[in-house]
Structure 1
């Protein structure tokens, strides 16, 4: 698995977690979902994502989007 795919899986899991938290704990967790969306849009324009730094340190192979 490369960084691009790992990032997509991570983002999907985080969205699902935030939706569960929103429905089961407190509706204010919707802001966590919004933060994830904004971070994904920012990463698509700038090519910078903090999660990629963590994945690189964990030894995940580079992909085509994040080198």
Structure 2
């Protein structure tokens, strides 16, 4: 019989790590597109920044809600409170 641990590490990346990777990727992509195609792509960079501040201040942004629902990613910073029944 295997003893159960109370601190079992979850597999996969937490929500914050995925959001950080997505934000970095989109920011780099928008910088390249702004340099090569049009400076209007800098608006995409601004959109990423606004969403990062939404996540920091409110604990959720559109990307976090979508990733949480589609892929079941969980936050390590903003733990959901369990509802007792």
TM-score interval for Structure 1 and Structure 2 normalised by the shorter chain: 0.7 to 0.9
Residue-pair matches, total: 67
- Runs of 4 or more consecutive aligned structure 1 residues displaced over 4 Å after TM superposition: none
Matched residue, 1:62: 74
Matched residue, 2:26: 14
Matched residue, 1:39: 51
Larger radius of gyration: 2
Matched residue, 2:36: 24
- CA RMSD in angstroms comes to 1.5
Matched residue, 1:5: 17
Residue 3 of structure 1 contacts residue 66 of structure 1 at CA under 8 Å; is this kept in 2? Answer: no
Provide the rounded CA distance (Å) in 1 between the counterparts of 2:26 and 2:64.
15
Provide the rounded CA distance (Å) in 1 between the counterparts of 2:24 and 2:78.
18
Alpha-carbon shift at residue 66 of structure 1 (Å)? 4.3
Residue segments in structure 2 that go unaligned for 5+ positions in a row: 1-12, 80-85
Kindly tell me: are residues 2 and 64 of structure 1, through their superposed partners in 2, closer, same or farther at Cα, counting changes over 3 Å? Answer: same
